[in-house]
Amino acid sequence: MAAKALLLLAAASHAFITPVRRLRPMQPLRAVPLDAIELTTHTLAANSALTSTADELAGSLFGASLLPWLAMLYWLKHPKTQAPKGVCFGLTYLLAFVFGSIPAAIGAGALYGASLADADWLHGAAESLLAATNCVVVLGFRDALAGKDDPDRLRTAATYWAGFAILSCFVVVAGNLMTMDAAAHAPWLNGVGNLDNVNEPINALSIPTWIIHTSSLVEWLVAMGLAWRYADVIGRKEWKGVTWGMLPLHTSGIVACCYHLFYNAPELSWCVALQAGCTCLGNTTMAFAMYRLAVASGWTLSDGRSDAEALYARLTQGVEAEAAETETPSLVTAAPSSTTASLLGWEDLGDAWALDSDAFFLGKLLALSAFLAYLVKYTPPLIPGSIVDGWAGAGDGVHSGAAALVIVVPTLLNCAKWYQRSQEGAEFVGDI
């Protein structure tokens, strides 16, 4: 029963609606031919069917992705794996985003009959928990590479951020109650940083929400680079497998940003299913990577049976398991590869800014993410109207093809980068 409820909630969180564009001022009315009306009706019906199918598939895939993530956490946090405690907490904290998105999606549907993606203030608050997760993972790797492991400060910071995300929602709700205006598209954090007098669809993401999305992509790439560097520093190549396991999850983020870049267009609802598929695949590859790491660290099936028996006893009899002592892997001197020294990719920012304080480091990431957010949000409105009209009439196939390029090209470049980096003595000569 709980599994069915989880699938239903996951499906609800990805029920998208058609974006509505603001009318341009002084636009003359035109007579619409009957055949055009009939064609539009068929198109809307087809898009509605596609959206429903994508939502159902996405709900199943998102629900199925939880089990491999829990398996990944088991192997990651096993005492024999000796993973950095900050990284362990960061990847565990992702569950706050998972379960925080469920009430946000329910609220969007109950309050406005809209999807979470089209309720900016709920969308931004929920997604901020994902960005916080990535920040904690990055800081956890930075601590480990510096020879320290202080997860308590990361737990405190993450707890404060979760409280801030919840408070930001209450502020919007209180404002709506005072003005008696339930604004479905009310911007998160009051849209601070938004530019006025820009002609955008009403469901366009606000600058704060876009910053959350772009920062998640950048931070995850940085975390991938730090995991690769950590493998060199402690002399355990299995951590490079973790970097490979993280790759589909980065593609999942690209898919989400692509969908928002095109204003959640109904003909691109396949992005919802694709994002869910990449998430499920990424959680599975992460679990496999952590399994390899645990096995290389001495984990065996007998350990798994013992842990399962201890968990059963704890649940049925209240028997507390004995806390196992863990050792921090010793750092070894490892010459960085030529690709690491060249600092050509986003993932190398962790090395480039290694000497910065955490506050300064995160400030630089925030500035970079803000620049990318302004770029992706305000470049489309600058496109001339004639091109926009031509694009609108190009057809769903052209729209889907363009969206596919936005997803596939960065993903292939990312794969090529890590493949070349994994070759002994190879030097990557490009960037994403």
53 pLDDT tier (thresholds 50, 70, 90): confident
**Tokens 């190879």, residue?**
426
Distance of alpha carbon 77 from its chain centroid, rounded?
22
Looking at residue 9, what is its pLDDT?
Answer: 41
| Lowest mean pLDDT across 47-56, 86-95, 96-105, 134-143 | 47-56
Which residue would you say has higher pLDDT here, 388 or 70?
70
Burial of 360 (0-12, 13-18, 19+ CB in 10 A): exposed
* Torsions phi, psi for 278 (to 5 deg): -65, -35
Looking at residue 227, what is its pLDDT?
Answer: 96
Which residue would you say has higher pLDDT here, 14 or 126?
126
| Lowest mean pLDDT across 34-43, 220-229, 392-401 | 34-43
Which residue would you say has higher pLDDT here, 413 or 177?
413
Which of 269, 259, 275 is closest to 50 using CA atoms?
Answer: 269
Looking at residue 176, what is its pLDDT?
Answer: 60
pTM above 0.95, yes or no: no
Alpha-carbon span 326 to 324, nearest angstrom: 6
114 pLDDT tier (thresholds 50, 70, 90): confident
Looking at residue 136, what is its pLDDT?
Answer: 95
Looking at residue 341, what is its pLDDT?
Answer: 42
| Lowest mean pLDDT across 20-29, 114-123, 321-330, 400-409 | 20-29
Average pLDDT over residues 52-68: 85
101: helix, strand or coil: helix
Looking at residue 127, what is its pLDDT?
Answer: 94
CB atoms within 10 A of CB 6: 18
Query: Contact, 280 vs 68, CB < 8 A?
Result: yes
Burial of 119 (0-12, 13-18, 19+ CB in 10 A): buried
Looking at residue 118, what is its pLDDT?
Answer: 87
Q: For residue range 135-165, what is the model confidence (pLDDT) as tens digits?
A: 999 999 999 999 887 888 899 988 888 888 8
Q: For residue range 251-296, what is the model confidence (pLDDT) as tens digits?
A: 999 999 999 999 999 999 999 999 999 999 999 999 999 999 999 9
Looking at residue 392, what is its pLDDT?
Answer: 86
213 pLDDT tier (thresholds 50, 70, 90): very high
Q: Using only C-alpha atoms, what is the Rg of the chain?
A: 23
Burial of 378 (0-12, 13-18, 19+ CB in 10 A): middle
22 pLDDT tier (thresholds 50, 70, 90): very low
Q: List the structure tokens of 140.
A: 């956890």
> What's the mean per-residue pLDDT of the chain?
82
Q: For residue range 335-352, what is the model confidence (pLDDT) as tens digits?
A: 444 444 444 577 888 888
161: helix, strand or coil: helix
Question: What separation in angstroms does the CA of 55 have from each of 13, 42, 222, 274?
Answer: 9, 20, 31, 10
412 pLDDT tier (thresholds 50, 70, 90): very high
Question: What separation in angstroms does the CA of 388 have from each of 195, 202, 381?
Answer: 20, 16, 9
Query: Contact, 373 vs 124, CB < 8 A?
Result: no
Indicate if the pLDDT at residue 43 is higher than 60: no
Which of 283, 12, 13, 9 is closest to 123 using CA atoms?
Answer: 13
Residue 117 is given by DSSP the state G
Residue 335 is given by DSSP the state P
Looking at residue 11, what is its pLDDT?
Answer: 41
Where helices occur in 65-119 by DSSP H, the ranges are 66-77, 85-112
Looking at residue 416, what is its pLDDT?
Answer: 92
Q: Which of 39-53, 148-162, 360-374 has the highest mean pLDDT?
A: 360-374
Average pLDDT over residues 174-188: 65
Query: Contact, 68 vs 284, CB < 8 A?
Result: yes
124 pLDDT tier (thresholds 50, 70, 90): very high
177 pLDDT tier (thresholds 50, 70, 90): low
Looking at residue 411, what is its pLDDT?
Answer: 97
Which residue would you say has higher pLDDT here, 360 or 321?
360
Indicate if the pLDDT at residue 130 is higher than 70: yes
72 pLDDT tier (thresholds 50, 70, 90): very high
